[in-house]
Amino acid sequence: MPKPTITHTICGYCSTGCGLSIHQLETGEMKIRPRAGYPVNNGSLCPKGAKLFEPFMAPDRAVSPMRRENDGSMTSLSWDESLEEMCTRFKQIIHDHGPEAVAFLSTGQITTEEFALLGALTKYGMGILDGDGNTRQCMASSVVAYKQAFGFDAPPYCYADFEESDLIILVGSNMAITQPIMWRRTRKNSHNSKIITIDPRASQTATKSDVHYQIKPKTDLFLFYGIARRLIVKGWVDDDFVQNNTKGFTEFAQFVRDFNLEMVSVETGLSVPEIKELTRLIHEHKRVSFWWAMGINQSYQGVRGGQSLINLALMTGNIGRPGTGANSVTGQCNAMGSRLFSNLSNMYGGRDFTNPKQRAELAKILDIDEKLIPTRPSKPYNQIVESIADGTIKGLWVIATNPASSWINQSDFLATLKKLDYLVVQDMYTTTATAKYADLILPAAGSAEKTGTFINSERRIGVLNSPISPPGLALSDFDIFLKIADKWGCADLLKKWQTPAAVFEILKETSRGTVCDISGIRDYAMLDAENGIQWPYPENNPDTTKQRRLFADKTFYHDDGKARFCFAPVAPVPEPTDAMWPLWLLTGRGTIFHWHTRTKTGKIEAFNRQYSKQPYILIHPDDATKYGVEQEKMITVVSRHGRGRFQAKWSETMAPGQIFISMHYQVTNQLTGPYFDPLSFQPSYKATAVRIEKE
């Protein structure tokens, strides 16, 4: 029997970054297998990765550029016609209203080389100042938390820490369905680890954990400041580590004095014995790892939430050793690439736009005129949306994301989209909620149809190879950006950026000497042969082990080498519940099968059969009785921002006073409101005051 052709690539959904082996038979049939020996997924895949190709074959793939006509119909265009129109329209807007009048919204779904090229094209070539990624929606709070605490955006862990911990504390993370392969690794732990989940909801993860602490929504800061206080009171602080490797502990200890057990118990809803027990467990275990996700990040105080866990890791010396760490789990497949190399919030390699020395350094590396480099970072996503609303931004380019479903406060956002003079959507599909508003659609390839790299949550750079080609006229985002450069008239600037491999070489140079130095990675072949490589990996890297964590030498990235304790008073909830709005709405992932707005996974019939097409709420039976909500009947949920119809499902996984709606429905964000973390500008999706109206 002839041997299949085997191509190695990376799954294009979540930040786990599983390695795939695509087996192509002579008949053309393709089978997806977990890549043998890949240190991320070690022979496992979740259902989404196993069906990676199915959405690529969907009938609503964008197969040619399309223009919306006055009557609403779409006309197919050539690439030349479409990009002539796009460039003419954007240039006219910039000519009439200035460079701040055009912006873009990008994604954590494209390759690092594509982000990097987009960042160079827009900022140096097109003169566009503002662009942001949907990564703002998932991990911006962690970025700021790490920068302030460690001196660089540096998630410190490797996945082996799941197996090395003796106490795993998951906060605001439904890992069993959001990152199922990571979850599987927690179960392969040989240290007889205890898994604790802290979450307002008895989620799929909480119910599978050893202990579930069911706190009230948005009270995590009270809990972690309270635990810090109790660790201090009991003398359970790693004094050597704190003294030698951190700054700000004295002030922190003073600050947490108010967070006594009784107050924390009242605020969190946990009993005093529960808080004592949790603190004791942290003290008694030798390898404690703290993991957080969107329940922390997507908050009006998300940065401080992440830092409250970093503080606990620092004060107990649980960092830099196997099985420890203050570990933010990122969402999308390449959010980590975006964090370092998209040239939006910071310049390549984590450099600062506002630092003249770093701008000059980058200009020299890139061999461009320093004047081309903006002196400020891009506006964050929420400010881009505000600028559309107030008429400052008139042209928008949306790349591989679906804000008409995912952005917070949809009622206002959809009206805002209509204010644009010109909207370009670059996507795999013509039918996304956002594409319906587009004046022009550019057909893009999916992850299995292109080459480049992704960086996963443990900082591992994995290489994508393309086992299949995009359909029709669709192109990789990389090739679309090059065509736009050509049409805009700035191709000369990008002469060295002509292939993903060439851009990878540029990124190596921009990273040289920085915290995320990857100059020691020879090329894609080396990445492939090594099963991915974690950054940092400088030239002559002394540490070539396959699973590396940061801070083993207890040296952090601030100039003095010390980590910082960061904290702030607990802010009030922007929208408290009251007699009119008596219930908390919690949002989150609803199933292992679907990804975000279901742009891709919604094409997989087997997955759709596993999950309700009808938007639904979970409500505690006591609340259902109280508000006269019948099982499976339709009800209306109303917030101060909008309303939506949902099927009611009674569930004891909910605490009384709270309802849950999954993020997979467009209607969900009709209810959420415009609240953001003041430091990271990440939207606060997790606690909206609502009421139920019977139909």
Rounded CA separation 40/351 (Å): 29
Q: Closest by alpha carbon to 387, among 679, 125, 132?
A: 132
- Of the two residues 45 and 139, which places its CB atom closer to ligand SF4 in the complex? 45
Minimal distance in Å, beta carbon 155 to ligand SF4?
A: 16
The binder of ligand SF4 chosen from 22, 32, 46, 83 (CB under 6 A): 46
CB-CB contact of 400 with 675 (8 Å): no
Least gap, CB of 183 to ligand SF4 (angstroms): 9
Q: Which is nearer to ligand SF4, 35 or 549 (CB)?
A: 35
State in angstroms the smallest separation of the CB of 52 from ligand SF4.
7
| CB 430, min distance to ligand SF4, A | 24
Contact range with ligand SF4 by CB under 6 A, out of 8-16, 92-100, 199-207, 255-263: 8-16
DSSP codes, 385-403: HHHHHTTS--EEEEES--H
SS3 277: helix
Kindly tell me which of 58 and 363 has the beta carbon lying closer to ligand SF4: 58
The nearest distance, CB 181 to ligand SF4, in angstroms, is 4
- Least distance from C-beta 179 to ligand SF4, angstroms? 6
Binding residue (CB under 6 A) for ligand SF4 from 8, 48, 594, 641 = 48
Degrees to nearest 5, angle at CA 331 with 194 and 149 = 75
What's the CA gap between 320 and 326, in Å, rounded?
10
Query: Distance between CA 144 and CA 151 in Å, rounded?
Result: 10
**Residue closer to ligand SF4, measured from CB, 171 or 177:** 177
Residue 303 or 592 with smaller CB distance to ligand SF4: 592
Q: How far is the CB of 427 from ligand SF4 (least distance, A)?
A: 19
Stretch in the footprint of ligand SF4 (CB under 6 A) among 177-185, 470-478, 635-643, 666-674: 177-185
In the list 21, 35, 49, 520, the residue contacting ligand SF4 (rule: CB under 6 A) is: 49
The pair of structure tokens assigned to 317 is 């010396």
Judged by CB under 6 A, which of 9, 16, 134, 402 binds ligand SF4? 16
Among 9, 18, 518, 620, interactor with ligand SF4 by CB under 6 A: 18
CB of 44 to ligand SF4, least distance (A): 8
- Of 112 and 511, which has the nearer Cβ to ligand SF4? 112
Which CB sits closer to ligand SF4, 18 or 264? 18
> Which residue lies nearer to ligand SF4 by CB, 20 or 261?
20
Measured from the CB atom, the residue of 138 and 282 that comes closer to ligand SF4 is 138
Q: Please spell the DSSP secondary structure of 150-194, one letter per residue.
A: HSS------THHHHH-SEEEEES--HHHHSHHHHHHHHT-SS--E
Among 8, 9, 13, 344, binds ligand SF4 (CB under 6 A): 13
Query: What does residue 3 show for φ and ψ, rounded to 5 degrees?
Result: -75, 140
Listing from the earlier edge strand, what are the strands of the sheet with 130-133? 74-76, 66-68, 440-443, 422-427, 395-399, 102-106, 130-133
What secondary structure does DSSP assign to 457-474, as a single string?
TTSEEEEE--SS--STT-
Distance CA 368, CA 658 (A): 54
Residue 34 vs 395, nearer CB to ligand SF4: 34
**Is position 116 an interface residue for ligand SF4 (rule: CB under 6 A)?**
no
Asked if residue 536 has a cis previous peptide bond (ω within 30° of 0), the answer is: yes
Residue nearest ligand SF4, CB atom distance: 49
Q: Which of 65, 119, 125, 180 binds ligand SF4 (CB under 6 A)?
A: 180
Question: What's the rounded Cα separation, in Å, for the pair 679 and 322?
Answer: 31
Query: What span, in angstroms and rounded, lies between the C-alpha atoms of 692 and 164?
Result: 45
Which pair of tokens denotes residue 620? 């505690």
Least Å distance, CB 408 to ligand SF4, is 24
Q: What is the DSSP letter of 67?
A: E
DSSP string, 299-361: STTHHHHHHHHHHHHHHTT-SSSTT-EEEEPP-BTTHHHHHHHSSSSSBGGGB-TT-HHHHHH
Give min distance, CB of 433 to ligand SF4, in A.
22
8, 11, 330, 347: residue in contact with ligand SF4 (rule CB under 6 A): 11
Q: How far is the CB of 20 from ligand SF4 (least distance, A)?
A: 8
Looking at residue 676, the DSSP 8-state letter turns out to be B
Task: Give least dist CB 270 to ligand SF4, A.
Answer: 31
Rounded to whole angstroms, the Cα distance separating 352 from 340 reads 11
Instruction: Report the Cα 500 to chain-centroid distance in Å.
Output: 23
Residue 11 or 264 with smaller CB distance to ligand SF4: 11
User: What residues from 274 to 303 belong to the interface with ligand SF4 (CB under 6 A)?
Assistant: none
Q: What's the token pair of residue 191?
A: 């240290």
Shortest distance, position 17 Cβ to ligand SF4, whole Å: 6
Using CB under 6 A as the binding criterion, the count of chain residues that bind ligand SF4 stands at 14
Least distance from ligand SF4 to the Cβ atom of residue 379, Å: 30
Is 417 within 8 Å of 105 (Cβ atoms)? no
Strands 616-619 and 5-10: unpaired
Query: In Å, how far are 622, 635, 670 from 615, measured between CA atoms?
Result: 21, 11, 12
Q: Judged by CB, which is closer to ligand SF4: 14, or 275?
A: 14
Q: How far is the CB of 446 from ligand SF4 (least distance, A)?
A: 13
Using the 8-state DSSP alphabet, how is residue 100 labeled?
A: G
Quote the Cα angle for 118-120-123, to 5°: 100
| Residues within window 671-690 making contact with ligand SF4, judged by CB under 6 A | none
Question: Which of 8, 9, 14, 143 lies at the binding interface for ligand SF4 (CB under 6 A)?
Answer: 14
Least distance from ligand SF4 to the Cβ atom of residue 167, Å: 24
Nearer to ligand SF4, 41 or 430 (CB): 41
Best CA proximity match to 185, nearest among 70, 309, 316, 39: 39
Q: Which of 105, 181, 484, 661 binds ligand SF4 (CB under 6 A)?
A: 181
User: Using CB under 6 A, which of 22, 39, 42, 45 touches ligand SF4?
Assistant: 45
**Whose Cβ is closer to ligand SF4: residue 430's or residue 662's?**
662
Rounded-to-integer distance, Cα 324 and Cα 346, Å: 28
Q: Are the C-beta atoms of residues 128 and 102 closer than 8 Å to each other?
A: yes
Nearer to ligand SF4, 170 or 373 (CB): 170
Site for ligand SF4 in 23-42 (CB under 6 A): 41
Residues contributing to the site for ligand SF4 (CB under 6 A):
11, 13-14, 16-18, 41, 45-46, 48-49, 179-181
